[in-house]
Amino acid sequence: MKIPWNIWKVLQILLLSSIVNSNTNNYIMIVITFNTTNIVFVLFSVLLLLFKSPLSSQKKCIIMSSSEVFLKTTTTIKTTRTTPRRQRRQRRKISSSTFKNNNNNNNNNNNNNMESILQEHEITDIFLDQFGVLHDGKNAFPEAIECLRRIHHKYPDVRVHVLSNSSRRRTSTLRKLKRMGFEDEWFQSAMTSGEVCHKFIEKDILNTCANSSSSSSSSFTFLHLNWGERGAVSLSSGCVLPQSKEEAIEKTTHIVASGCESMSVPGTTLGSYDRQVQNIQRLTHEEIKEVLTGIAKRCEENGDLPPKMLLANPDFVTVNGDALEVMPGTISLWYRDILNEVFQKQGEVSGGGAFNADEYVVKLGKPAPIIYTTLCEEISGRSRSRNNEHSDDEKEEKNAQTFFSKCLCVGDSLEHDIKGAQSVNAKSCFIVETGIHAEELDFSSSSASGGDGDESEFEAALEAMCEKYKVASPTCTIAKFSWN
């Protein structure tokens, strides 16, 4: 049965009025119909919106055509429905005046978005984290896409690089960003901890064995902790993998932590985000701990030192939609505790001196300087096999210092992004609302209204967090990676 035109218009006005009167969401989804014959209704709808409910700075209006009304109804409800974690974020939104330049020499200059930061500081290169800055693991942040577009057009001389603690190769990272709506031309280059790990295995392990007469790569067995549902990560073809958990406990000489869901076995195919991973041994977190404990005990009983863990992703957790997920950095904490429990009983290791479990975890991503210097060398057209003369070393170090002094590292993790930037003396920009520390800066809506005391309250909370994570205050702090 076809609904008469005038009844359909009345229903739409009632729908519009009910949405306008709703104060339950920060986002207002307005669904109206328009074409060349009813432009008057569009104008009436807009006037109704403006006079009946003035838009706050947090509210947005989205207009869709009538052909999509019924098809999009369920999608609209799903999009505007606020999940518990997002509700908590909204309750403690902080006024933009709270976010400011934290450099003690520029306390009077508020930097609450990327536009003001680029105007205030001399920046030649921007190092961007992914998760919590550009996207939430599933969907891109619209303000991040717009921000990169503005930077590309307004500051064409500023080079933007992706610097991510992803255990995947950088080509995979750039492909994913492209699918999310980020243009290739916006990025000068990319470096991931997975790329650094691949280079490290090739150069420092496999090539070293190839040039040695006393050992070969076939004598090494790599326990490769991998992803499953998220898509497997591949190792170099020269890495020998165990057939089972039992063989891993018995033969492992090197550990590579790329994921937290499985272990690679011979024939594991390169995975993707389509979840079609072949021939991989799924492991629970408890099974991972059992394998690591078995390796440590075997080495201790044989009087051998434990194998080092190459940490292809030092992050402890990451954002995934509205949840936080365990990352390989957490596995390194498990391994450290296991080694301390097994090896500290013997007091001293065979080489002399007290046992230090931290020496058996090799971080190949942020906050370790290696990921920054690797990208710096690529940008500068240099390789790690450069001239070893002392004068050249001093010159290279000076050039690196000059380069990093004009770099801005943007990220959502104090322990990784901010501390990593400080390890190479680069400027740092801390993202609050969309990252992993969002819940720790949990202010009530009353304190977020921009009244007196907001700024001091936020600064006190940030100072406490920096002290907790043993990191100096970031250069700048902003809510989101947005242009304005």
Residue 273 pLDDT greater than 60, yes or no: no
Average pLDDT over residues 284-294: 97
Question: What pLDDT, on a 0 to 100 scale, did the predictor assign at position 95?
Answer: 45
The upper half-sphere exposure of residue 22, i.e. CA atoms within 13 Å in the direction of its Cβ, equals: 16
Separation CA 344–CA 355 (nearest Å):
6
* DSSP one-letter code for 440: T
For residue 212, name the pLDDT band (cuts at 50, 70, 90). low
Please give the Cα distance from 481 to 429 (Å, whole number).
Answer: 9
**Higher pLDDT pick, 319 / 145:** 145
Q: What's the confidence (pLDDT) of residue 108?
A: 32
Per CATH, domain 96-165+387-478 is 3.10.620: no
Q: What is the mean pLDDT of residues 456-473?
A: 91
What pLDDT sits at residue 300?
93
What is the distance between the alpha carbons of residues 254 and 302, in angstroms, rounded to a whole number? 16
Confidence band for 53, pLDDT divided at 50, 70 and 90:
very low
Q: What does the pLDDT read at residue 229? A: 74
List strands edge to edge, sheet with 159-164.
Answer: 189-192, 159-164, 125-128, 407-411, 427-431, 476-478
Which pLDDT score is estimated for 76? 32
Across the chain, mean pLDDT equals 77
Category of 187 on φ-ψ map: left (φ > 0), alpha (ψ -120 to 50) or beta: beta
Report the pLDDT value the prediction gives residue 79, as an integer from 0 to 100. Answer: 33
Q: Is pLDDT larger for residue 157 or for residue 231?
A: 157
pLDDT class of 116 with cuts at 50, 70, 90? very high
Domain boundaries, the chain: 5-81, 96-165+387-478, 195-363
pLDDT of residue 403: 94
- Please give the residue that has the higher pLDDT: either 216 or 483: 483
How many angstroms separate the Cα of 423 from the Cα of each of 114, 248, 319, 360?
Answer: 22, 35, 24, 21
pLDDT, average across residues 276-288: 83
pLDDT digit string, tens, across residues 361-397? 999 999 999 999 999 999 887 544 444 544 467 777 8
Q: Return the pLDDT at 280.
A: 83
**More confidently predicted of 410 and 67:** 410
Split at pLDDT 50, 70, 90, the class of 7 is low
Q: How far apart are CA 394 and CA 400, in angstroms?
A: 10
Of 152-156, 349-353, 399-403, 411-415, least confident by mean pLDDT is 349-353
Q: Which residues contact 126 (CB under 8 A, 6 or more apart)?
A: 151, 158, 159, 160, 161, 407, 408, 409, 410
Stretch among 62-66, 155-159, 233-237, 444-448 having the lowest mean pLDDT: 444-448
What pLDDT is recorded for position 77? 27
Question: Residue 117's pLDDT is what?
Answer: 96
pLDDT digits (tens, 9 = 90+) for 325-343: 899 999 999 999 999 999 9
Is pLDDT at 65 greater than 70 in this prediction? no
pLDDT of residue 75: 31
How much is the pLDDT for 351? 55
DSSP-based three-state secondary structure for 61:
strand
More confident residue, 212 or 135: 135
* % the chain with pLDDT above 70: 66
